[in-house]
Amino acid sequence: MLIDAEICDLKVGDEHPVRIMGVINLSHESFYRSSVVSMDSILEMAHSMVDNGATILDIGARSTWLLAKPVISREEEMQRLVPALDILRDNVDVLISVDTMFADIAEKALELGADMINDVSGFKADERMLDTLVEHGCPAVAMATEKVPGDPIGLDATMDALASIIRQACDKGMDTSKLVLDPAIGKWTPEKMPIYDFETIDQFERLRTFHKPLLAAISRKSCIDAVLHRPVEDRLYGTLAATAIVVHKGAHIIRTHDVSQTVDVVKVAAAMRSRHLMVKENGFEVSVLNIVDPEDAVRNMNEMGVTGTGAQIMKKKSVLRVLRISNITTTEALIIKQEILARGGDAALERNAVSHETESTDILVMGTLLQLEKLAKKLERQARNLPVISRMILDTLQLDDNVDHRYLR
């Protein structure tokens, strides 16, 4: 499906330019102290960001950094935020987003002209937040959260958390077409290691499963430090590299401290991103789903109303893998071909192997995860080296799903 949304008259989605959300930081406890804006310079900063290409400004008055000290009160957050909104109201021609987890602050911000709310707690910090958003008909960014902001570990847990947030919003009566999803890149909890951010960035396209605009907030975060080992002030180029990847893989909004430096990177990465494949005609629609993980197939099937049991049965039929098995005997290759054909897959091997004119060969084995697992179980009981090859097939499929193996160096 094509992702196409309208956030307060701003078109966001696959067929629209990637939108830049400039960060206006009012929090002196921030991990990036150089980004903090004084009240005297806030309008100048806002105009500079807009002139450089920002179409959304995200105003934050409370640091959500794990090590932020001191933790400020709601009253202080409100005291910082209200004067800033008074200054920006009617003086900038872009959407104003307010970064807050609390319903009373969101309520005041919306009364003062804010257009949307960015809640990094995924509506978990304040149970009244969704009621406030519904009352105002307000769009919102929701960050992946189970209990505390950004706590899901790994992309599967992130996907589950986002699915839960969508259900919660729907149950509360929110128009979920106004929902933007943030997969919580960054060290939000002590347990969250950089490899989990690498996984999210590398497989960002999986988030398309939700058919909603996707926001990436990577700017100068700890996953950049994990690679470069540099202080926050020196992480710009690393941030831009990661930004190019997520844009190429489908991000629709980039939240950044560095608007002018980000704009060109985003334009180039977006230009090299292929269009989503879809044909519409006479009320019908056919689109390509690039499903790389079976759990994403389950999410698509659940959305369509497939039974939970049916989705679980079919999930491993939805993902295709092509394995190359090298340096095996011709006899072993022909047995493998026969067995995968019997399970609905296919295989390719060199011409001389088919006619037994060579003693060894490589073989390409093509099948769904289910077909390949069934093949391995069958080979396990065969002669020659086929039990070894069986184990290697299963080990390879397990490594394909192993975050440590993929990203630890």
pLDDT exceeds cutoff 90 at 70: no
pLDDT of 65: 77
pLDDT exceeds cutoff 90 at 1: no
d(CA 326, CA 388): 13
Return the CATH class of domain 319-405.
alpha beta
d(CA 227, CA 334): 45
Question: 4-278, what's its fold?
Answer: TIM Barrel (3.20.20)
pLDDT of 408: 87
pLDDT exceeds cutoff 90 at 29: no
pLDDT exceeds cutoff 90 at 165: yes
When pLDDT is cut at 50, 70 and 90, the band that residue 67 belongs to is confident
The helix-helix angle for 259-271 and 236-248 (nearest 10°) equals 30
pLDDT, tens digit, 9 for 90 and up, residues 364-375? 999 999 999 999
User: In terms of pLDDT, which residue wins out, 197 or 64?
Assistant: 197
When pLDDT is cut at 50, 70 and 90, the band that residue 31 belongs to is confident
Per-residue pLDDT, averaged over 70-94, amounts to 92
pLDDT exceeds cutoff 90 at 395: yes
Of 274, 286, 389, the residue nearest 335 (C-alpha): 389
High-pLDDT (> 90) share of the chain, %: 86
d(CA 250, CA 253): 9
pLDDT exceeds cutoff 80 at 33: no
pLDDT of 68: 73
pLDDT, tens digit, 9 for 90 and up, residues 224-237? 999 999 999 999 99
pLDDT of 242: 98
Per-residue pLDDT, averaged over 386-408, amounts to 94
User: In terms of pLDDT, which residue wins out, 33 or 382?
Assistant: 382
pLDDT of 323: 97
Per-residue pLDDT, averaged over 373-389, amounts to 95
Per-residue pLDDT, averaged over 210-235, amounts to 96
User: In terms of pLDDT, which residue wins out, 31 or 118?
Assistant: 118
pLDDT of 28: 81
**0.85 exceeded by the pTM?**
yes
pLDDT exceeds cutoff 90 at 356: no
pLDDT of 66: 74
Residues of the chain with CATH 3.30.1370: 319-405
Per-residue pLDDT, averaged over 84-100, amounts to 95
pLDDT of 291: 92
d(CA 63, CA 165): 22
pLDDT of 248: 97
**What does each C-alpha distance from 121 to 81, 98, 140, 151 come to in angstroms?**
18, 13, 12, 9
What is the bridge-based pairing of β-strands 346-349 and 284-287? unpaired
Per-residue pLDDT, averaged over 151-161, amounts to 97
d(CA 319, CA 297): 8
pLDDT of 30: 79
**What does each C-alpha distance from 124 to 119, 161, 373 come to in angstroms?**
9, 11, 40
d(CA 40, CA 73): 23
- Mean pLDDT for the chain overall: 94
pLDDT exceeds cutoff 90 at 322: yes
Mind giving me the DSSP string for 26-78? --TT-S-GGGB--TTTHHHHHHHHHHTT-SEEEEE-S---TT-SSPPPHHHHH
Identity (one letter) of the amino acid at 161?
A
pLDDT of 276: 87
Of 256, 253, 241, 263, the residue nearest 18 (C-alpha): 253
d(CA 141, CA 123): 10
Residues of the chain with CATH 3.20.20.20: 4-278
pLDDT exceeds cutoff 80 at 69: no
Report whether 293 contacts 268 (CB < 8 A). no
